[in-house]
Amino acid sequence: MRQFLATESGSAGLLLLAAVAALIWSNSPVADSYDSFWGTALSINVGDWSIDHSLRYWIDEALMALFFFVIGMEVRRELAMGELTDRKRVTVAVLGGIGGMLLPAAIFLAINAGSGNEHGWGIVIATDTAFLLGALAIVGPKFPTQLRVFLLTLAIVDDIVAISVIGIFYSESLDPVAIAICVAALALIALFPRIGVWRSAAYFAAGFVAVIAAMESGFHATLAGMIAGLLVAAYPPQPKKIEKAARKARAFRQSPLPEVARSANQSVQQAISPNERFQNVLHPFTSFLIVPLFALANAGVDLRGGVLADALASTLTWGIVAGLVLGKTLGITAGVVTAIKTGVGEMPRGIGKGQTVGGVALSGIGFTISLLIARLAYDDIQTQDHAVVGIFIASILAVLVAWAIFKLAAVFRGEVSAGLPRFLDTPFDPERDHYLGNPDAPFVLVEYGDYECPYCGRATGMIRELRERMGDEMVYVYRHLALVDVHPHAELAAEAAEAANAQGRFWEMHVELYDHQGDLDIEDLIGYAGKLDLDVDRFVEDVQGGRFSKRVQQHAASGDASGAHGTPTFFVNGIRHTGAYDAISLAEELRTQEPATAPD
């Protein structure tokens, strides 16, 4: 059960369970207790200052602000070192997102023109990220990793715009003093990395002030939460800080004293960006508690007494259904096609056209944010109920339409997988590859690595342990995958390793480069060549002349064709490994994984 709940389908399952529970509660003999319970007053009093709101308001504003704080951090991380570093993929998602908001809003307004319900147009521009990814895991293609990346990027664009719409169009009268306090707290969060503040307590204190001030300002706290998340710094672990943390950990092993433990713990925390530390703590809390709690508090509709029949006869209900199901599918598809045809954007590799449309159809699940906007857009309970019914119908139809499209794409277009390639494109060749061990060994482990990547540096110890475990049963192969966008010295270092290989000292240079990941300028590389007693003049001529650049690029091309888009990437007996890459896990997989047989 714990393993299932940790998956995206598990998170979506909890959300669905909460929504069903809300419907049962609001249609039970104790239905009156539903609104009365969530309307319970909850206040915070400090001296003469007091803030007093209903329990539902605290959930919709304060707790959902924490949820959108996590969403904002995810966006910041993806922009800094994730999928959003590829600007063409960002562009295709942005154009798709724009189309997926303009057309649904236009359809909604066209259906509801003159009805008095036009103010709810924001309901149909949103996509529920948690529900979307959970539904994809259930009805989507096998290995949906690339499609998931695209849909997540698309949902991020939706979230940013939807929360901005809430803050701008659904805000009440504004309090300039509270706004100033909120802005000051957000500015402080942005300033923390520059003044060396890394402790969690400081970030959360500033975030708490920003959210409470936003609640009192008239702007919605969800917007403050999103902005705060965007301001939390994200960056790859720095080798020097990692080494410092390792030294502190060794010191604790030698002297297990409280003050040494505290110092080691602080060093480990400082080695990881605040963004990743906070996400690791908050993501389970927001996904498995806050969002289901929001659904429980907002999804209840008393369908008795003709409410359902009235909703099914309402233009509001069908405007929401048409906007989310039809508008999202057509609007996003049009935006994606425009981006690709004009050459300004591109889809992630491995996604078929039918799978794209199927994934886009899932964007019609607007559940969480749509419910939030519905509560904000309409004061009348009956109108809110009609909107909630429309959101439920649209979410169900979106999943069914997507499921049908995925099935048709699999049958008629052969689109059964939407992941990166899984098989090693270029098999191990003892004549060309760099390897350690018996070339005729039954088990082959291939690594695509980057000399400036801290994760690759840490993997070297694991490789030594694994070779000791496997002995002559395994051959280890190293190939270059220099991530030049984030590691500017990696390609030069790879060429230096090849230049050393020309003089028979590849593995010696390999060790030097990983031992000095923070010092990979040309002067450093020349120093390592001298230390290894290479012909330095020949080494310099080979490196500066780019003699081995083509070989390094060939390695990168084979890695890309094999589905290696990050480092380190391991291939176990020709099949790309996913998950943990510790020695025990890889040794077990090596012994159980049959040699790869790529599909025709």
Judged by phi (left if over 0) then psi (alpha if -120 to 50, else beta), residue 508 lies in: alpha
* Interstrand relation of 443-449 and 474-480 (parallel, antiparallel or unpaired): parallel
pLDDT of residue 368: 81
80 token code pair: 């800094």
With residue 581 as reference, give the H or E element that holds it: none
Distance CA 110, CA 98 (A): 18
- CATH 1.20.1530.10 domain extents, the chain: 24-236+273-413
Q: List helix spans (H) across 7-86.
A: 8-26, 32-38, 55-58, 64-81
CA-to-CA separations, 53 to 63, 67, 174, 288, 385, in angstroms, rounded? 13, 19, 17, 24, 22
pLDDT of residue 599: 47
Closest CA to 236 of 34, 81, 427: 81
pLDDT of residue 4: 44
54 token code pair: 């209903």
What kind of fold does domain 434-592 have according to CATH? Glutaredoxin (3.40.30)
With residue 445 as reference, give the H or E element that holds it: strand 443-449
For residues 310 and 382, is the Cβ–Cβ distance under 8 A?
yes
Distance CA 117, CA 319 (A): 10
- CATH 3.40.30.10 domain extents, the chain: 434-592
pLDDT in tens, the chain (600 residues): 445 445 556 677 788 888 899 999 999 999 999 989 999 999 888 887 788 889 998 998 889 889 889 888 887 887 777 666 777 878 898 899 999 999 999 999 999 999 999 989 999 998 887 788 778 888 888 778 778 878 877 877 787 787 778 777 777 667 889 889 999 999 999 999 888 888 888 999 999 999 999 888 877 788 888 889 989 988 877 767 777 887 888 887 788 888 888 888 888 788 788 888 888 888 888 888 888 898 899 888 888 888 889 999 999 999 999 999 999 999 999 999 999 999 898 887 778 899 999 999 999 998 888 988 898 889 888 999 999 999 999 999 999 999 999 999 999 988 887 777 788 989 999 999 999 999 999 999 999 999 999 889 888 889 999 999 889 999 999 999 998 877 899 999 999 999 999 999 999 999 999 999 989 999 999 999 999 999 999 999 999 999 999 999 999 989 988 888 789 999 999 988 877 777 777 888 777 766 655 444
Angle, nearest 10°, between helix axes 129-139 and 367-377?
150
For residues 177 and 213, is the Cβ–Cβ distance under 8 A?
no
Q: Does the bond joining 29 to the residue before it have cis omega, within 30 degrees of 0?
A: no
Distance CA 319, CA 202 (A): 45
Distance CA 575, CA 578 (A): 9
Q: Which residues of 479-502 are buried (b: 16+ CB within 10 A; e: fewer)?
A: bbbbbeebbebbbbbbbbbbbbbe
Q: How many CB atoms lie within 10 A of CB 218?
A: 15
What kind of fold does domain 24-236+273-413 have according to CATH? Na+/H+ antiporter like fold (1.20.1530)
The alpha carbon torsion through 588, 590, 591, 594 (nearest 10 deg) reads 130
537 token code pair: 């003049």
Interacting residues of 556 by C-beta distance below 8 A, sequence separation 6+:
480, 481, 482
